[in-house]
Amino acid sequence: MKAEIITSGTELLLGEVTDVNTPFLAGQLAALGIDLYYSSTVGDNFRRFSGVLRQAWERSDLVIITGGLGPTQGDITREVIAGMLGEKTRVDADLKKEVEAFFSRRGLEMPENNIKQATVIPSAVALHNAAGTAPGWWVEKEGRIIVTMPGPPAEMQEMWHRHVLPRLREKSGAVILSRTLKTWGLSEGKVDELVTPYLGSANPTLALYARPDGINLRITAKAATEAEAGAMLAAREGEVREILKHHVWGADAATLEGVVGKLLCDRKLSLAVSESLTGGRLSSTLSGTPEVAGCFKGGIVLTTDASGVGNENAAAMARSARLQFGADIGLAIAGFYHDDPGAPRGSAFIAVDMEKESRSAEAPGLPGRVPLRISRTINHALIYLRDFIESLPA
């Protein structure tokens, strides 16, 4: 199946909004094994939009459109599709009730121009919008498909997962499942070398991606049934985990702070932190992590002048944070924030401190620009903390 994406909206062509729908949809299509050959953006102009849609319709089996489903005169996606297919729009009574209900739940009357959101064409099935007033359309005609969804990413993604993805899975006649394993502490080249035997496999496939949170491995299995695909996926995951062992710290949507935070709370340990190089980013990462709520007691942010740099400084910072906040564990990152020309590039020291034990170490070389170095140092500190907790007697 050959797919094509059209994002519509003059605001995109004025640079006022960054299109995040295309990368989302592109990733989803890739995971489904559907080839995406083109994507394009067009403004709210009937003639140009119609031209882009006609071309897509002629060269692709599946056209996915986002945007242009609002109630204003500039929202023309429905009219463009109807015009291209030579069909007439009509108001659907059930859809009209849905749109009216959306407003009445908010104690409002439906503005008259919202009526266009309740229209369909004969080839279209409306897709319910759980997060807004604009229903999408699933259009099937002459063996080809047009899907149109609202532009706001949250509405679009909700509709995609609930209504579009299941239909596409059914069309493809196969179940495709994928799982992403996340690693830390190995270079892309090393991971590549270790899993070489599996990289050539056609099903399940295995692909590597370098990400700020480490090297990710995506396993994708395709089979006739969900059970079969799931079993293939699980088997390959087991083999890959066996090779990479504790370098795998999580899977899929897991975050390193979430994984380490959960470990901490499960062990009923509380944490305080002190940081210089990372300037508050470690604290703000932990504050924003639900898994660590209640176990994170607080943080101190120092400037490098005040903290110094080295194993001893880091250890003193960790201890001092632990004592100031009355936590079980203190974790510290000491280092240079700015690209200080006088400093050895990327010096960073990590320390953990408990009443009866403390450890510290220099973090490995930190390549990249400052923001990337900071996020890598935080990941390194979190892994250091994980290993420390796991080494404690249960």
Residues that bind a copy of itself (CB under 8 A): 12-20, 22-30, 36-43, 45, 48, 52, 209, 278-288, 290, 293, 296-303, 306, 325, 337-338, 370
Minimum Å gap between C-beta 372 and a copy of itself is 13
Pairing verdict, β 35-42 and 90-91: unpaired
Are 167 and 1 contacting, i.e. CB atoms less than 8 angstroms apart?
A: no
Nearest C-alpha neighbor of 12 from the set 31, 40, 46:
40
Query: Which of the 8 DSSP states describes residue 116?
Result: G
Minimum Å gap between C-beta 24 and a copy of itself is 7
> CA–CA separation, 145 vs 66, rounded Å?
14
Around Cβ 115, how many Cβ atoms within 10 Å? 15
Minimum Å gap between C-beta 298 and a copy of itself is 5
210: tokens are: 């370098």
* Nearest to a copy of itself of 24, 103 (CB atom): 24
- Characterize 310-328 residue by residue with b for buried, 16 or more Cβ atoms within 10 angstroms of its Cβ, and e for exposed: eeebbbbbbbbbbeebebb
Nearest C-alpha neighbor of 387 from the set 333, 356, 350, 355:
350
Minimum Å gap between C-beta 294 and a copy of itself is 8
* Nearest to a copy of itself of 30, 199 (CB atom): 30
Minimum Å gap between C-beta 52 and a copy of itself is 7
* Nearest to a copy of itself of 269, 301 (CB atom): 301
* Nearest to a copy of itself of 35, 239 (CB atom): 35
* Nearest to a copy of itself of 117, 349 (CB atom): 349
Minimum Å gap between C-beta 78 and a copy of itself is 21
* Nearest to a copy of itself of 20, 125 (CB atom): 20
- Per the rule left: phi > 0, alpha: psi between -120 and 50, beta: everything else, 142 is left
Are 347 and 359 contacting, i.e. CB atoms less than 8 angstroms apart?
A: no
